[in-house]
Structure 1
Amino acid sequence: MRNGWLSAAGTLGALGVILGAFGAHGLKSRLPEDLLVTFEIGVRYHMYHAIALLAVALLAPAHTNNRWLGRACWAWLTGIIIFSGSLYALALTNTRWLGAITPIGGVAFIIGWAFLVAGGLNANRNRNS
């Protein structure tokens, strides 16, 4: 697994902080409460998964042959783009049909966590053989 994921995690983390500050300071007086909450949920899940990417990127050098870790990262990146991205767009444009896309990103997050479990099982199997 290439450690481009470390750069991706840093970029996504910084973007999450920027968007969180934008929501708290720039949107608070401009959006209705329900849309502000929607935006904040996008930021929250964005940051959770940026941190997960960081953790996997830091662990990856010890598990160079574990493809499941890279798959987890790709799934989480996809989840951030689809889940958080659709919530940001929904909050900023009040385009309600975007909410129908959001669960696809949620599924990508779940798949990423399942890939991480598979990566852990794979690491244990390789250690025990």
Structure 2
Amino acid sequence: MILNTESIKPIYIQISEWLENQILNDSIAADEKMYSQYQLAEMYNINPATAAKGITILLNENILYKKRGLGMFVSKDAKELIFKKRKNETLKTLAIELLTEANRLNVGEDELFELLKSLNIESRED
């Protein structure tokens, strides 16, 4: 991952999302040790406090858990928690934006549904 310092998204959020992606693509499995704030700071040349803030997000969401003296580990239900979070936050936000734009363009529900359906079929073929 390359951090986007030009993004309006804070670096600690980018770190948190990257770690989530690592979990989702099985690069880091359940009960496996997570990178430390110092490892992340060295990997991305950032302040350890910034890396810690990204990790703390995942701790607060129970995606990670602490083992005293050993570090952070991925929880057994981390993938499900991430899926649920992204479904409830990311997809909902995107759907609202899509519906708002469709309304601006006077695109009806049926037309929008057909568009989504055709795009879904195309994406499965890729």
Task: Output the TM-score relative to the length of structure 1.
Answer: 0.30
Of structures 1 and 2, the larger Rg is shown by 2
More helix per residue: 1 or 2? 1
Instruction: Identify which of structures 1 and 2 has the higher relative contact order when contacts are C-alpha pairs closer than 8 Å and 6+ apart.
Output: 1
Task: Output the TM-score relative to the length of structure 2.
Answer: 0.31
